[in-house]
Amino acid sequence: MTTAIARLDTRSLRAPLIRPWGPDVTDLTLVEVVVEDTDGAVGHGFSWTPTIGGHAVQALLDHDIRAFVLGRPADAVALWPDLWACLHEAGGSGITTIAMAGVDLALWDLAARRTGLGLVDLLGRRRAGTPAYGSGVNLHYPLDELVAQAERWVDAGFAGVKVKVGSPDLADDVRRIRAVRDTIGPDRFLAIDANQRWSLERAERAIAELAPFDLRWIEEPLRADDLPAHVALRERLARARVDVPIALGENVHTRYRFAEFLATGVVDVVQPNAVRVGGITPFREIAALAAEHDVEVAPHLLPDLSGQLALTLPHETLVESVEDASFAELGILAGPAPIVIEHGRARDTGRPGLGIEFAAD
């Protein structure tokens, strides 16, 4: 018989970044969520956002979400649609789904601990390890620092890397991508990420000029919520016979929006962020949608969590490893990391539940 949720507590955390992601992104904000059921079992989850919105997320958890979930079944899959329906008036995504993720993750952690399993084995393990790639938030790096970072990724054994583009002068992007390709060689894959910086016309021109560097994908070339522009970009690239896969998803927050992008055939790699979409429950639904459309899944950030989810997906899945930005590298975990990346591959460490508990201080 499913127990009920008896307690929900939150704690705000700030994790300074070892390598700032830009002048205005120097730390990460997390909200730890602890759920206890009527049998006294406890689960640990979290919500996450770089810099912006953490106080609003915690307020939503402490007020509307706590009031709704207390006394309801401690079952993540059963709770999610009802909680989303309750919060939808305040917005169907964004702060609402980020806050929901804290509860969803805590309930999955609780369920795994009850069975004595780690998350991977609770969900259904498909493999022992999966490839990771080196990723950098590095558009602000001078060229020599960018090349040095690419060299570290090569030394770490990554089979591929991803770097930022979107410089004011396209010639600078070409120069930087050429230098990275020269550094990593022809046998490693190279992906690029524009972080929504381009207009449709700029994207068409930039992708055409960068395509000769044999790109694994171009990520977020346009505003993430502009589906018609993505349709137009696909048509323009096809007419120009430019074949570069399009990746997106870190700023798409619901399974309904993912379904729209998948149905129109404008995306080749979907990148759901397990927290931004609302937790493990909707992440799995999005992954199933992608499989129906034969589209690759490559989770966005959070390797401590997404690395575990990758081990449960039907096809081998790339895990994004942003340099010096995992929870373990940031030094905010109370115990060993649930995921380790060695020689370019991610594997779980068999920690119970999610294996993500934050240090008391």
Q: What is the pLDDT along the chain (361 residues), one digit of tens a residue?
A: 689 999 999 999 999 999 999 888 899 999 999 999 999 999 999 999 988 899 999 999 999 999 999 999 999 999 999 999 999 998 889 999 999 999 999 999 999 999 999 999 999 999 999 999 999 999 999 999 999 999 999 999 999 999 999 999 999 999 999 999 999 999 999 999 999 999 999 999 999 999 999 999 999 999 999 999 999 999 999 999 999 999 999 999 999 999 999 999 999 999 999 999 999 999 999 999 999 999 999 999 999 999 999 999 999 999 999 999 999 999 999 999 999 999 999 999 999 999 999 999 7
CATH number of the domain to which 81 belongs: 3.30.390.10
Catalytic residue (one of 44, 230, 253, 300) = 300
228 Cβ contact list (under 8 Å, min separation 6): none
| H-assigned helices in 266-345 | 280-292, 303-310, 327-330
User: Do 248 and 140 have their domain in common?
Assistant: yes
Number of structural domains (the chain) is 2
At residue 72, the pLDDT reads: 97
At residue 50, the pLDDT reads: 86
The C-alpha atoms of residue 218 and residue 312 are separated, in whole angstroms, by 25
At residue 208, the pLDDT reads: 98
User: Do 189 and 64 have their domain in common?
Assistant: no
| 162 given a catalytic annotation | no
- Domain assignment present for residue 46? The answer is yes
User: Which residue is it, tokens 């060299």?
Assistant: 151
The C-alpha atoms of residue 221 and residue 206 are separated, in whole angstroms, by 9
The C-alpha atoms of residue 49 and residue 285 are separated, in whole angstroms, by 22
User: Do 105 and 152 have their domain in common?
Assistant: no
Residue range of the domain that includes 128: 121-348
The C-alpha atoms of residue 122 and residue 263 are separated, in whole angstroms, by 31
The C-alpha atoms of residue 275 and residue 327 are separated, in whole angstroms, by 14
| 164 given a catalytic annotation | yes
At residue 207, the pLDDT reads: 98
User: Do 262 and 241 have their domain in common?
Assistant: yes
User: Do 245 and 151 have their domain in common?
Assistant: yes
CATH number of the domain to which 129 belongs: 3.20.20.120
User: Of 115, 148, 171, which one is at a domain's C-terminal end?
Assistant: 115
- Domain assignment present for residue 135? The answer is yes
The C-alpha atoms of residue 48 and residue 40 are separated, in whole angstroms, by 26
At residue 361, the pLDDT reads: 77
At residue 1, the pLDDT reads: 63
The C-alpha atoms of residue 354 and residue 34 are separated, in whole angstroms, by 13
- Domain assignment present for residue 357? The answer is no
Catalytic residue (one of 44, 162, 164, 230) = 164
The predicted model scores a pTM of 0.96
Count of Cβ atoms closer than 10 Å to residue 295 Cβ: 19
